[in-house]
Structures are given as structure tokens and as C-alpha cells.
């Protein structure tokens, strides 16, 4: 298995990207309704950087970054297909993100159970206040 990474393509194939979301439990199974397709792709198309991992034609991992490219960058939606996890793909996706904006501060918001993963690859727990206005599209965000 040779994994190939693409640092250029933002317009990932929607069906495969949605399959990735389903596989990690972030989306319900079934085809994405037509009226939701644009909204599903918008965050990827509008990200500063999208990096994807491929096994041949199969999308096996992806990550997106919003960045001012100098000072501050935020990682979103790092995900790897379960059957491809623990092979270094997630770490390589993050490494490539950082390589694009090497002097930047890097931030990620994640859950308690995933925070150990980021600590393992070099992130430090941030101190200070974390404030937000919740997204109106998600009841529990
Ligand atoms: C988190 C995720 C992206 C990691 O990708 P991956 O390709 O499996 O990661 P890697 O193979 O690069 O790294 C695996 C290493 O991290 C460790 N690891 C994985 N999840 C971990 C966790 N929650 N806490 C601590 N360590 C973790 C593994 O034990 C493994 O350690 P090893 O290298 O010593 O064997 C992947 O598990 C995933 O897609 N999870 C579901 C989506 C998700 O929660 N994404 C994060 C959103 S912020």
C-alpha cells in the first residue's frame, strides 16, 4: 500500500468525503441529499489548505486548515478511514499542514478522548479562556 498525499486539491470527491465522515461517525449513513451537498463542501472549498491521502483512487484521509498563513492556523476535520488508521496517515497529514506554515501557531479544538492524539504529535494543552458563539446549524455545538 503506497499512500499518496495531495496538498492542492480542495474539491474532494463529495461521495468519498461523505463516506469518510460516515466511517468515523460524524455523519449519518446514506447518500447526502442534493440540497445539503453545497453546504457540505463549502468548508473545504473555503479552507486555506486541504490535504488529502489516497490509496490509488480511494480517499483514505483528509484534513483542512484555516490560516492567516503567518501567525495563526487552525486544524479542522482531521479524519482517516478506520481501516487505514494507525499507519501514520493522520500524523503525516498534520505534519504536511505545519510544513506549509512552519512559523505559525497551531490550534485545534477537539474532544477529551482525541486530545491525547494531538499531545502525542506535539501539541500542548492551551491555557486561558476559550469562548464561543455556537454554530446555529448544530443544536449541540
Ligand atoms: C485521530 C486520527 C485522525 C488519527 O489518525 P491515524 O492515521 O490513525 O493516526 P496515526 O497512525 O498517525 O497515529 C497513530 C498513533 O496515535 C495513537 N492514537 C490514536 N488515537 C489516539 C488517542 N485518541 N489518544 C492518544 N493516542 C492516540 C495511536 O495509538 C498510534 O500510536 P503509535 O504510533 O504509538 O502506535 C484517526 O484516529 C481518526 O480519523 N479518528 C476519527 C476522527 C477524529 O476524531 N479526528 C480528530 C478530530 S479533531
- Confidence band, pLDDT 50/70/90 cuts, at residue 140: low
Ligand 1 atom closest to residue 92's alpha carbon, by position in its atom list: 12
Going along the chain from its start, the domains and CATH numbers come out as 3-120 (3.40.630.30)
- Enumerate helices (H) and strands (E) in the chain, giving the number of each: 4, 5
pLDDT-based confidence at 65, cuts 50/70/90?
Answer: very high
pLDDT score of 141 more than 90: no
Instruction: Quote the mean pLDDT of the chain.
Output: 95
pLDDT over 90 (residue 30): no
pLDDT category of residue 83 using cuts at 50, 70 and 90: very high
Mutate to test the pocket of ligand 1, among 117, 121, 125, 141 (most ligand atoms within 8 A of CB): 117
Q: What is the pTM of this model?
A: 0.96
Q: Whose CA is nearest to atom 10 of ligand 1?
A: 88
CA of 80, closest atom in ligand 1: 39
Amino acid at each position: 500500500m503506497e499512500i499518496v498525499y495531495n496538498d492542492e486539491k480542495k474539491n474532494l470527491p463529495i461521495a468519498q468525503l461523505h463516506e469518510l465522515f460516515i466511517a468515523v461517525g460524524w455523519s449519518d449513513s446514506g447518500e447526502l441529499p442534493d440540497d445539503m451537498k453545497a453546504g457540505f463542501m463549502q468548508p473545504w472549498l473555503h479552507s486555506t489548505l486541504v490535504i488529502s491521502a489516497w490509496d490509488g483512487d480511494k480517499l483514505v484521509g483528509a484534513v483542512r486548515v484555516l490560516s492567516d498563513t503567518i501567525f495563526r492556523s487552525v486544524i479542522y476535520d482531521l479524519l482517516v478511514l478506520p481501516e487505514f488508521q494507525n499507519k501514520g496517515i493522520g500524523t503525516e497529514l498534520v505534519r504536511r499542514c505545519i510544513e506549509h506554515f512552519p512559523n505559525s501557531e497551531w490550534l485545534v479544538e477537539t474532544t477529551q478522548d482525541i486530545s491525547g492524539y494531538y499531545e502525542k504529535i506535539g501539541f500542548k494543552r492551551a491555557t486561558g479562556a476559550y469562548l464561543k458563539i455556537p454554530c446555529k446549524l448544530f443544536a449541540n455545538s
